[in-house]
Chains A and B, each alone.
Chain A
Amino acid sequence: SQELEQSPQSLIVQEGKNLTINCTSSKTLYGLYWYKQKYGEGLIFLMMLQKGGEEKSHEKITAKLDEKKQQSSLHITASQPSHAGIYLCGAVIGTASKLTFGTGTRLQVTL
């Protein structure tokens, strides 16, 4: 099983709607990173969360880290077509000294 699970795997929302993507770890999280990937391209760094309870926002995207639940959520408000892509969470898990990436969430925004 994956150490870092994302849900949902895919999401289709109408433009203007809000949405939430979750990233859950089976082990203790030490730092959580959100990235966005457009099809066939590299990853764009969105946000880094390091402390339990930490919340960060950039434009219409907000990410929170719940260390007790070993979970992070990414919330997009009033989605736009430009938000479409694959969202990946990456985290330092347990004693590993590397980033482990989640399974990814494919977001489509319809007009």
Chain B
Amino acid sequence: SAVISQKPSRDICQRGTSLTIQCQVDSQVTMMFWYRQQPGQSLTLIATANQGSEATYESGFVIDKFPISRPNLTFSTLTVSNMSPEDSSIYLCSVGRGSSYEQYFGPGTRLTVT
């Protein structure tokens, strides 16, 4: 399995500001995913980040709000822009393994927007 780290692990931000979350993997992976887990809720896929191409966003998520970069096969960033209290969530990155949908997750970033 891959070792995945995320920075920051947690942050408290003021509304209207932006936060960039980093996801680093210890091996090269093709597929990286960003999820949101709102308080008491399950995981919701924000977007799939592929190296060398634009991220593919799920319904309800837009690039202007959640811009994603994927500069190489071991790294990705997710920015939460113009934050509001409704953006308070845990944000998780994951990586795919092989041809199945098996995924390994990072430890998550706990974001609180005041």
Residues of A in contact with B (beta carbons under 8 Å apart) = 2, 31, 33, 35, 40-45, 48, 50, 88, 90, 92, 98-99, 101-104
Contact = CB atoms under 8 A, between A and B. Distances in A.
Contacts of B4: 42
A28 to B, nearest CB: 15
Chain B at the A interface: SS class: strand
A43 B90 CA distance: 12
Given A88-B43, A101-B43, A104-B42, A41 B107 contact: yes
Nearest to B97: A45
A42 B107 contact: yes
B102 interface: yes
Given A98-B58, A102-B42, A43 B105 contact: yes
Interface residues of B, number: 22
B42 A92 contact: no
Contacts of B104: 45
B110 A40 contact: yes
A50 B42 contact: no
A46 to B, nearest CB: 11
Interface in B90-105: 90, 92, 94, 100-105
A65 to B, nearest CB: 14
A45 B103 contact: yes
A2 B45 CA distance: 14
Given A40-B110, A42-B106, A44-B105, 20 more contacts: A33-B103, A41-B107, A42-B6, A42-B92, A42-B105, A42-B107, A43-B94, A43-B105, A45-B102, A45-B103, A45-B104, A50-B100, A88-B43, A98-B45, A98-B48, A99-B45, A99-B103, A101-B43, A103-B42, A104-B42
Given A45-B1, A88-B43, A103-B42, A33 B108 contact: no
